[in-house]
Amino acid sequence: MVNVEDSASASDAWQKSCFVEIDFTISDDAVVFEAVQRFAAYDIGCLITTNADGKITGVVSERDYIHKVALLGKASRETTIKEISTKTDNLITATPHDSVDDCMAKMLGRDIRHLPILDDDGHVVGMLSIKDCVKAALAEKEESIQILSNFAMGKGGTMVVD
């Protein structure tokens, strides 16, 4: 019997992302240049900002840098992250249990490319990019196609959809 599982979760997609391997947080008191260095070093486009207590205060992205530093002629070595970051009151987040489809809908609905993943207590547990979501959705579709192909060719057993 072949089982087609529910769609992948935000946690599943994040576990396969580049953000699992790196520290994706940065102090909101750091200067923007530090964020730019990490964007380049890790080949990422967003970091989660935290205060001195380690609590999430927002996100800072390459777009923030371009729009709020580079285009305005500010110095990245003198501008703090808290001056340009998107604050938590305007932040869209996900939970580890949200589906990849729900995460993609959140991102597309707000024209953003990254979602912080927060646990039930509001603590940061990860970061999800649109690229991570697309990879997870494609893998899920490819698996479904393979299962259906095997079934159609008589290579599979009974297919059960949960």
* Percent of the chain predicted with pLDDT > 70: 88
B/e letters for 54-88, b = 16+ CB within 10 Å, e = fewer, are eebbbbbbbebbeebbeeeeeebeebebbebbbee
Running DSSP on this structure, what letter comes out for residue 145?
H
Which residues have CB under 8 Å from 144's CB, separation 6+?
A: 4
Beta bridge partners of 49: 26, 58
pTM, two decimal places:
0.74
pLDDT one-digit tens code per residue, 141-157? 887 778 788 777 877 65
Say if residues 3 and 160 touch (Cβ distance below 8 Å): yes
Which residues have CB under 8 Å from 23's CB, separation 6+?
A: none
CA distance 107 to 159: 32
The model's confidence at residue 3, banded by pLDDT at 50, 70 and 90, is very low
The model's confidence at residue 159, banded by pLDDT at 50, 70 and 90, is low
Domains and CATH numbers, the chain: 2-161 (3.10.580.10)
